[in-house]
């Protein structure tokens, strides 16, 4: 008998085909997000789940899923999963690191360039018929090249963002829980600084830390005040790392120049203040959303799940303590 699994959201055909070779699959190709009760009802009696950041996997849910052995998240971030609760119940949790580093770094850069050169604001003006001709002082932006880039979180994605800075001849600063190896610092020409130094010195502050209780609102009113008035903030990691209300106030008051955002507190609901601002570029959590990368992420999650249900250690295990193989 094949193990029974649930795939909570729509996935690619090849992902379903692969999973179906190994498992009895209940899919959701209509892509209706399940509420907590529906998810619990569907997961009861399942051996595994392929899920996304829109699914909350917590102790309450796990209590109702006695057979569950694996939670395979289609994302590198896993703040939607209570890892301790999984470990306590011997449920292995996995994520999809590596395959999305470059696409996510590209999107952070797209936000940097778009905010610096006011692209979305200016496109709105062009479409609205405001462009009447070339002028010397028209809609001036700021340079990215030769500016100082400050990266919070120099993990894989942070490193991919920093790597791209060489082409723009930027000075690269970073802050991390711990300093990265010196060969990585050298390769990236990146200098470790304190949080305060990074905020005070950077022209572009890019956030690439995971969302945890420690990083909740790590950028709030006090940190925004420490930044240069000309600085630009980029958040393409997780909503909640930034205090959105404080950011809206800072953008309205000119405490910083602009922000480029892919993620929000309470997404997909946006704090309404953002919508009235020209100095913010708003993207809908698409950091990893290229066709090739999303296909690779879905297959990575599927392979992690199949590994567990075949009795092996999955490649991207988040809680080794739950692994008894
Ligand atoms: C991730 O992998 O954490 C992304 O945010 C999902 O797109």
For the segment 251-267, what is each residue's pLDDT rounded down to a tens digit? 999 999 999 999 999 99
The pLDDT of 213-220, averaged and rounded, is 97
Predicted confidence (pLDDT) at residue 127 exceeds the cutoff of 80: yes
**pTM value surpassing 0.75:** yes
Number of C-beta neighbours around residue 26 at 10 A = 15
User: What atom of ligand 1 comes closest to residue 238's alpha carbon?
Assistant: 5
For the segment 103-124, what is each residue's pLDDT rounded down to a tens digit? 999 999 999 999 999 999 999 9
Place of tokens 């190896």: 181
Mutate to test the pocket of ligand 1, among 264, 287, 300 (most ligand atoms within 8 A of CB): 287
The pLDDT of 319-325, averaged and rounded, is 87
At residue 20, the 3 state secondary structure works out as: helix
- Please report the sign of the dihedral spanned by the C-alpha atoms of residue 188, residue 193, residue 195, residue 201: negative
Q: Which pairing describes strands 190-192 and 204-207: parallel, antiparallel, or unpaired?
A: unpaired
Predicted confidence (pLDDT) at residue 172 exceeds the cutoff of 80: yes
Mutate to test the pocket of ligand 1, among 95, 261, 264, 288 (most ligand atoms within 8 A of CB): 288
For the segment 142-166, what is each residue's pLDDT rounded down to a tens digit? 999 999 999 999 999 999 999 999 9
DSSP assignment letter at 280: E
Q: How many CA atoms lie within 13 A of 96 on its CB side?
A: 26
Structural contact between residues 76 and 97, judged by C-beta atoms closer than 8 angstroms: yes
- Please report the sign of the dihedral spanned by the C-alpha atoms of residue 81, residue 83, residue 88, residue 89: positive
Number of C-beta neighbours around residue 103 at 10 A = 21
Q: What is the separation of C-alpha 57 from the centre of its chain, rounded to a whole number of angstroms?
A: 18
From ligand 1's centre to the CA of 229, what distance in Å? 30
Structural contact between residues 19 and 5, judged by C-beta atoms closer than 8 angstroms: yes
Structural contact between residues 100 and 297, judged by C-beta atoms closer than 8 angstroms: yes
Mean pLDDT for the chain overall:
97
- Give me the pLDDT at residue 323, please: 86
Structural contact between residues 152 and 206, judged by C-beta atoms closer than 8 angstroms: yes
In whole angstroms, what is the distance from residue 254 CA to residue 248 CA? 10
- Residues 241-269 as b/e (b if ≥16 CB within 10 A, e otherwise) read bbbbebbbebbeeebbbbbbbbbbbebee
At residue 124, the 3 state secondary structure works out as: helix
Residues annotated as catalytic (active site), given as ranges: 238, 267, 285
Q: What is the DSSP string of 156-214?
A: HHHHHHHHHGGGGT-EEEEE-SSPPPHHHHHHHTEEE--HHHHHHH-SEEEE-PPP-TT
User: What atom of ligand 1 comes closest to residue 100's alpha carbon?
Assistant: 2
Residues in contact with ligand 1 by the CB-under-6-Å rule are 53, 75-77, 100, 287-288
Percent of the chain with pLDDT over 90: 98
Contacts with 37 (C-beta within 8 Å, 6 or more apart), sequence order? none
- Give me the pLDDT at residue 324, please: 73
The pLDDT of 22-40, averaged and rounded, is 96
The two three-digit tokens of residue 19, written as one number: 């999973």
- Give me the pLDDT at residue 325, please: 65
């Amino acid at each position: 008998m094949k193990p029974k699994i649930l795939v909570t959201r729509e996935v690619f055909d090849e992902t379903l085909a692969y999973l179906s070779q190994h498992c009895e699959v209940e899919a959701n190709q209509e892509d209706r997000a399940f509420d907590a009760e529906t998810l619990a009802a569907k997961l009861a009696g399942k051996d595994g789940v392929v899920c996304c950041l829109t699914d909350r996997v917590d102790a309450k849910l796990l209590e109702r899923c006695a057979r569950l052995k694996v939670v395979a998240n289609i994302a590198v971030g896993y703040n939607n999963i209570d890892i301790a609760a999984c470990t306590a119940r011997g449920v292995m949790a996995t994520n999809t690191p590596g395959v999305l580093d470059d696409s996510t770094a590209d999107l952070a850069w797209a936000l940097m360039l778009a905010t610096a050169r006011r692209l979305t604001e200016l496109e709105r003006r062009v479409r609205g018929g405001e462009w009447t001709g070339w002028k010397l002082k028209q809609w001036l932006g700021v340079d990215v090249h030769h500016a100082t880039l400050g990266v919070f979180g120099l993990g894989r994605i942070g490193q991919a963002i920093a790597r791209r800075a060489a082409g723009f001849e930027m000075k690269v600063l970073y802050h991390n829980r711990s300093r990265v190896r010196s060969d990585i610092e050298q390769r990236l020409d990146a200098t470790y600084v304190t949080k305060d130094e990074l905020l005070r010195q950077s022209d572009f502050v890019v956030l690439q830390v995971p969302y945890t209780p420690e990083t909740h609102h790590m950028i709030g009113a006090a940190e925004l005040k420490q930044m240069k008035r000309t600085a630009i903030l980029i958040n393409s990691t997780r909503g909640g790392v930034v205090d959105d209300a404080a950011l809206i106030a800072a953008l309205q008051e000119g405490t910083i120049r602009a922000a480029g955002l892919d993620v929000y507190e309470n997404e997909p609901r946006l704090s309404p203040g953002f919508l009235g601002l020209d100095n913010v570029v708003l993207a809908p959590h698409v950091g990893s959303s290229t066709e090739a990368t999303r296909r690779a992420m879905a297959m990575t999650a599927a392979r992690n799940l199949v590994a567990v249900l075949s009795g092996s250690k999955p490649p991207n295990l988040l809680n080794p303590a739950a692994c008894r193989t």
